Amino acid sequence: MAILEEIRVPDIGDFAEVEVIEVLVGVGDTVSEEQSLITLESDKASMEVPSPRAGKVVELRLAVGDRVSKDSPLLVLDVESAAGASAAETAPEEPRTESPPPPAPTPAAGGAAELVIVPDIGDFADVEVIEVLVGIGDTVAEEQSLVTLESDKASMEVPSPRAGTVTALKIAVGDRVSQGSPILELQASGDATAAPAPQRDAEPTPATRSTPPAPTTEPARAGPREAPLPNVDEPKFRKAHASPAVRRFARELGADLGRIDGSGPKGRILREDVKAWVKKTLAGGAPAAAPAAGGAGIPPIPEVDFSQFGATETVELSRIKRLSGPHLHRAWLNLPMVTHHDEADVTEMEAFRKSLKAEAEQHGVRVTALVFIMKSLVDALRAFPQFNASLSPDGAALILKQYFNVGIAVDTPNGLVVPVIRGVDGKSLFELSAELAEVSQRARDGKLGPNDMQGGCISISSLGGIGGTAFTPIVNAPEVAILGVTRARMQPVWNGSEFVPRLMLPLDLTYDHRVIDGAAAARFVAHLARTLGDIRRLLL
């Protein structure tokens, strides 16, 4: 005899209102004990919720984008009968109290094209379209995904309400939509107007239900999980940043998402990335599930069983490091990078900075050397426009920028992030100090959004608060240069007649040699050092 049991979110530590970013099972799926059911993500951590027992999913009680806490309803399991099972083990069914979704537009009479809109997507507005999955003339099936939307922390697919042919697209990648926004026009099939909800094969309705469960309409619900691919690391496959449609596509082709670098927003893996990986793997003569070679055909580092040498512990990389790693790897493989080293005499600048202490306190800020470097860097960008640029994708042109946004690398408990300070040229030292403090705090708290880390012209990586004499930072592509700064030191400097103590600041400029040559880099750093040496030059 089957037993219906409501599964709830277990104790997830000191977290509340945690967002559901992925639903890993669907109604009708058979799950095993400890199998992951959903993925949750807070500002600083992600976690999977396992099933406490085996059974069959009868009903889902949440969807992608929902926020849950301990004991929030998750799903209902049809648990197989077991010896010793008691009535106390089953949670009573409660009627659903969710508000019904807004009615979808009905097809016009005479087979006219129907306008498909964004359905109820929960507490989200102005969500970015990151992928359009169909084109004009395509024939789509009911429930087939049409577009992929992504907010700061969740992604979701919008399914088609019925079968038909796409006659017009109303949105494009990069657009922002909310509930009710038009997606496309659909010429419905002859039977689309009365298409019933999909039925499960011979699935009995539990006797404890007064009415059958209503068909779900959430756009982001994951379908049944496919059987695992051979030679694929399932945990890495599940944690890969990809939409359900791309996951299904990868499984159909036998591609291991855990080995694919994403080119989409925030490192998201797109269909094109999967296709490119498969083509590259086949061209190399290796099976699709075999470990792929590193960039530029470099063989991968062989796996080593370190436990044979002593005790070990495996710690998962933070989400930030998992996303930034492929980005840095792409930059390292694609950009011919050179680093130029120099020093700036900042003795007078430091004296001026200290003289501003009382005035800065009146503004409620602390002025650091970094804001002087930011202003001086903008001055250098004006003098050398090729540094305030990006190379076109085909490598044939230089895109010169007329704005001055500076990325600042911030060290956080979860890894390095680079928020962007916009319009540096039009802000005072006190304004920059206040904004820098506020953005750095949000970065350490894990509260930065994607827009906070986009649109930079050049980046600064400062290790002055830690130490060091020089290093070689990696260019934050598609920027063409990055400035590294380490700790200033008092040094004896020859002035032509004697050695005098001067505060010298090491500067390390890494640049894309396709755009900038060595002479230009040397002139750029010399200009920057001259401005830092006499900050009055900013008035010229």
Which residue numbers are catalytic?
A: 513
CA atoms of 487 and 466, how far apart (whole Å):
7
CA quadruple 422, 428, 431, 437: dihedral positive or negative?
positive
Q: How many CB atoms lie within 10 A of CB 310?
A: 6
**23: closest CA among 222, 277, 284, 223?**
222
And the tokens for 382?
A: 């004006």
- Residue partners of 134: CB distance under 8 A and separation at least 6: 140, 144, 146, 166, 169, 184
Quick one: residue 319, left, alpha or beta (phi over 0 = left, psi -120 to 50 = alpha)? Answer: alpha
CA atoms of 163 and 438, how far apart (whole Å):
50
Q: Would you give the DSSP letter of residue 31? A: E
Q: Contact, 483 vs 462, CB < 8 A?
A: no
| Sequence letter at residue 166 | V
CA atoms of 36 and 260, how far apart (whole Å):
22
Three-class SS of residue 479? coil
Q: Is the peptide bond before 478 cis (omega within 30 degrees of 0)?
A: yes
**270: closest CA among 255, 285, 288?**
255
Q: Where are the beta strands (DSSP E) in 91-222?
A: 114-117, 127-132, 139-140, 145-150, 155-159, 164-169, 176-177, 182-188
Start-end of H helices in 165-240: 234-239
Q: Contact, 345 vs 533, CB < 8 A?
A: yes
| Full DSSP string of 286-330 | --TTSPPP-GGGPPPPPP--GGGTS-----PPPHHHHHHHHHHHH
**323: closest CA among 463, 450, 175, 174?**
450
Q: Which residues are registered as beta bridge partners of 49? A: 38
- The vertex-134 CA angle with 133 and 135, nearest 5°, equals 140
Place of tokens 């670098």: 261
| Sequence letter at residue 113 | A
Q: How many CB atoms lie within 10 A of CB 279?
A: 10
CA dihedral 530, 533, 534, 537 (to 10 degrees): 30
Q: Identify the helix (H) or strand (E) that includes residue 361.
A: helix 357-362
